[in-house]
Structure 1
């Protein structure tokens, strides 16, 4: 009910003393009566306050008293005339200054009648809403039984309620929607869905987010409604409940496919000419988080990669095969599965006052090359996934770029890369630490100049003989001969690991 509804009620015979159109549209949550000197403990936000003006001893009292009512966030004031025979002008002026609509009640209308009227109207409104909700539920269920799509139902309700609505997954996949939506908006919706202590919740973009069903947040769907006013609460839960029927139907089909694939596993079929990409997921979890496993991640992977076929291999790894290119696949994984990172993080005992990811997902991606079996692509993706576990992120993705020596080396786990580099260049690092000789820097520049003494000397602003001497010391300390291609490759990979750690990330 709005303030203007009280004004328009013929049985109350109210008179408007102040209030513009916007003020009269304020919703009234309840009616209360008070004449206490400080009304704030006795009123609540959204209340219509009835007062007999007993508190007014002098004209200056009006501004102080009405100011306290405005501070409490009330909807409006009803002033009685029994005490003064009229409503003093200073009361009207105070309401105008503080932006509160002011109604005057005749002496023949007690405040109790106003309270009873509002209670009757509220009860009638609740009954109409119950009837409307029952009718809406029947209509939605009938539409489901008739085979309507969830998109059709959302579009119908959105048109009826004059709102925009979207049904999205935890990876930001739009299952249905009534209007275009940006990636940034999807980021905000998913972040709110996965991090809000309770749902429904409202995003920074003023979109109300409701969870569909009672499943965990990674496998759930979410209903996003704009505008995020109070009204969606009347129909949002009903629409979310109907959407859960469609989600469960899809999950049943998905689990049936999994059961058949996992029960009767087949060797990866080679697909000559097809642009197949293998994705392997490695999961690392602490004992404090056992609620997220292969099943939840498998749902998210299907969500992110449209048309993917997934299975669990003999090593217990999650494997997906999808058409496309490895770069496109990796980008999709980073974008969509990166959105579920908030659901993976949680308290982890890593030191006093610290927190880090409790569950980490590492994905390796490898395209099937010409004349290569799909098993080979899966093996390369598995190696990249193992290496990606070293990345310090809840969700990390690596491409198994193994058509170069450097690419092959980056598929090796970071820990092994560092052990290799320390074994090869450990004596050089120790020598530099003790003598400040700059051997490691000189070696890096020399290799970057393709073994040219002159270019290295010019780049470092050193004498040619100084570069020759330093490189000679490196060969002595490492036992490698830079004239041999295999030794030069060893030193190059070791230098790359020690001086450019980001390269292996």
Structure 2
């Protein structure tokens, strides 16, 4: 209700003493009556204050009193005539000075009648909203039953409510919308959607964001509404509930496809005439690993609609998609960067590798696996790395996993057998020694043993392998073999 509605109510017989058109359009949240010298404890923002002017002992009191009301954010003032028989000019001047609309109530209209009128009107508004919402729910459900697409429902809702509206996924895919959204706008919307303490929430640009779908926020969709009038608060809960039907329908189809693919695994089909990229995504979660893996799989498919995925024997997401290595990595960096704030207790290490025409798919996935292992060491909830061959380790990733395994077993087979028989810890010592750039002392400190123990074990390794760790080529062989056995190149 507005101040204008109270002024125009014939049963109240109000008279306007001050206020322009803008003042009269102010929203009235409630009506309160007070004549206390300091009204601030008894009024709230948006209130229409009824006063009998008992506080006015002198003309100077008017400016002080109205100043306190204006500072409290009230919508306006209704002054009664019972005490003075009229409204003093200094009261009118104070309201004009502080920008508050002033209405005069006749002596025959008690303030209680004004409060009752507002309560009746508010009840009528609530009833109309209930009827309107019920009608809207019926229309929406009828449209769903008739097979209407979500795009049609959003367009109809936007036209009826005079708003702009969008439906977004957590990584920024626009499922449907009534206008274009720029990437910075999507970033701002999702920053609010994924980090607000509770939803609905309002972004800095006055966009209202509602969650579509219960549960975690990275698998939810988001209904975004921009009112044509900043003071308008359109209902979106009904549309969000209907949008959940579409989201769940899509999720069910997707999960069925995954279940069939995981139960009856087949090699990834090769796409002719287009470049391909392989992806390996490691998901590290403190709790709920299975649910988290499924949620991350959904976001991967959302970010890369052409993606085909499977879960390998080590519980990693492995997939192939059309596109270049750098382009795929760029999309994942941007899309996964948006959900990073919502990945509480979850780390994603993603490797991407391009598939060369002459290269078997196993080698491409192996290179992506090596990149994901390197990403595991990065700081932050999300790391995306590409498989480069600008190093010896990177070059080894181009070798199929089976050959890598045979190489590692050929170089370190005797060491592995010795450890199996004697539990001597030779492989762990070699890994620590190489990781400390060949320093006896640092390797001993890392393993909490005496430096002479490290020297003895390294000597035993040199005898068993026939390699001299003082030689660069021999040290490189041992380094690559250790990396392969520890899973830091291709899957073995």
TM-score range, shorter chain: 0.7 to 0.9
Q: From the superposition, tell whether residues 409 and 394 of structure 1 become closer, same or farther in structure 2 (CA, over 3 Å).
A: farther
Aligned to 2:66, the other structure's residue is in SS state helix
Is 1:303 aligned to residue 290 of structure 2?
no
Q: 1:408 deviation in Å?
A: 3.7
Q: For residues 420 and 193 of structure 1, what CA distance do their matches in structure 2 show?
A: 46
* 2:490 matched residue in structure 1: none
* 1:401 matched residue in structure 2: 388
Q: From the superposition, tell whether residues 75 and 417 of structure 1 become closer, same or farther in structure 2 (CA, over 3 Å).
A: farther
Q: String of CA shifts for 1:175-196, please: whole Å, max 9, x gaps.
A: 1111111111111111111110
* 2:293 matched residue in structure 1: 294
Q: For residues 158 and 99 of structure 1, what CA distance do their matches in structure 2 show?
A: 35
Is 1:362 aligned to residue 375 of structure 2?
no
Aligned to 2:97, the other structure's residue is in SS state helix
Aligned to 1:293, the other structure's residue is in SS state helix
Q: 1:382 deviation in Å?
A: 1.2
- How many residue pairs get aligned? The number is 423
Q: Is the 8 A contact 2:367 2:397 kept in 1?
A: no
Q: Is the 8 A contact 2:14 2:106 kept in 1?
A: yes
* 1:378 matched residue in structure 2: 365
Q: Is the 8 A contact 1:15 1:105 kept in 2?
A: yes
Q: For residues 372 and 79 of structure 2, what CA distance do their matches in structure 1 show?
A: 73
Q: 1:380 deviation in Å?
A: 1.3
Q: 1:132 deviation in Å?
A: 0.7
* 2:337 matched residue in structure 1: 338
Q: For residues 38 and 332 of structure 2, what CA distance do their matches in structure 1 show?
A: 59
Q: For residues 373 and 488 of structure 1, what CA distance do their matches in structure 2 show?
A: 29
Identify the range of structure 1 (268-277 vs 68-77) with the bigger mean alpha-carbon deviation: 268-277
Aligned to 1:31, the other structure's residue is in SS state strand
Q: Is the 8 A contact 1:387 1:410 kept in 2?
A: no
Within a 5 Å distance, the mapping from 1:16-415 to structure 2 comes to: 16-227=16-227, 229=230, 231-232=232-233, 234-271=234-271, 273-286=273-286, 293-345=292-344, 358-402=345-389, 405=392, 407-408=394-395
Q: For residues 291 and 433 of structure 2, what CA distance do their matches in structure 1 show?
A: 32
Q: For residues 292 and 286 of structure 1, what CA distance do their matches in structure 2 show?
A: 12
Q: For residues 317 and 258 of structure 2, what CA distance do their matches in structure 1 show?
A: 12
Q: For residues 268 and 23 of structure 2, what CA distance do their matches in structure 1 show?
A: 69
Long gaps (5+) in structure 1: 346-357, 430-477, 494-505
Q: Is the 8 A contact 1:270 1:373 kept in 2?
A: no
Q: 1:480 deviation in Å?
A: 5.7
Q: For residues 198 and 333 of structure 1, what CA distance do their matches in structure 2 show?
A: 27
Q: 1:60 deviation in Å?
A: 0.9
Identify the range of structure 1 (274-283 vs 113-122) with the bigger mean alpha-carbon deviation: 274-283
Q: Is the 8 A contact 1:282 1:362 kept in 2?
A: yes
Q: String of CA shifts for 1:409-438, please: whole Å, max 9, x gaps.
A: 8999xxx999746425x59x9xxxxxxxxx
Q: Is the 8 A contact 2:367 2:394 kept in 1?
A: no
Q: For residues 229 and 417 of structure 1, what CA distance do their matches in structure 2 show?
A: 63
Q: From the superposition, tell whether residues 273 and 189 of structure 1 become closer, same or farther in structure 2 (CA, over 3 Å).
A: same
Q: For residues 308 and 13 of structure 2, what CA distance do their matches in structure 1 show?
A: 71
Q: From the superposition, tell whether residues 159 and 420 of structure 1 become closer, same or farther in structure 2 (CA, over 3 Å).
A: farther
Q: Is the 8 A contact 1:193 1:222 kept in 2?
A: yes
Long gaps (5+) in structure 2: 399-403, 405-429, 443-468, 481-492
Q: For residues 326 and 194 of structure 2, what CA distance do their matches in structure 1 show?
A: 27
* 1:442 matched residue in structure 2: none
Q: For residues 290 and 95 of structure 2, what CA distance do their matches in structure 1 show?
A: 56
Q: Is the 8 A contact 2:268 2:320 kept in 1?
A: no
Q: From the superposition, tell whether residues 5 and 272 of structure 1 become closer, same or farther in structure 2 (CA, over 3 Å).
A: closer
Aligned to 1:103, the other structure's residue is in SS state strand
Aligned to 1:322, the other structure's residue is in SS state strand
Q: For residues 61 and 433 of structure 2, what CA distance do their matches in structure 1 show?
A: 81
Q: 1:392 deviation in Å?
A: 0.6
Q: 1:75 deviation in Å?
A: 0.8
Q: For residues 128 and 72 of structure 2, what CA distance do their matches in structure 1 show?
A: 30
Identify the range of structure 1 (70-79 vs 373-382) with the bigger mean alpha-carbon deviation: 373-382
* 1:14 matched residue in structure 2: 14
TM-score, normalised by the number of residues in structure 1: 0.78
Aligned to 2:437, the other structure's residue is in SS state helix
Q: For residues 8 and 474 of structure 2, what CA distance do their matches in structure 1 show?
A: 94
Question: RMSD of the TM alignment (CA)?
Answer: 2.7
Aligned to 2:242, the other structure's residue is in SS state helix
Q: For residues 239 and 106 of structure 1, what CA distance do their matches in structure 2 show?
A: 46
Q: From the superposition, tell whether residues 418 and 25 of structure 1 become closer, same or farther in structure 2 (CA, over 3 Å).
A: farther
Q: From the superposition, tell whether residues 271 and 169 of structure 1 become closer, same or farther in structure 2 (CA, over 3 Å).
A: closer
Is 1:423 aligned to residue 437 of structure 2?
yes
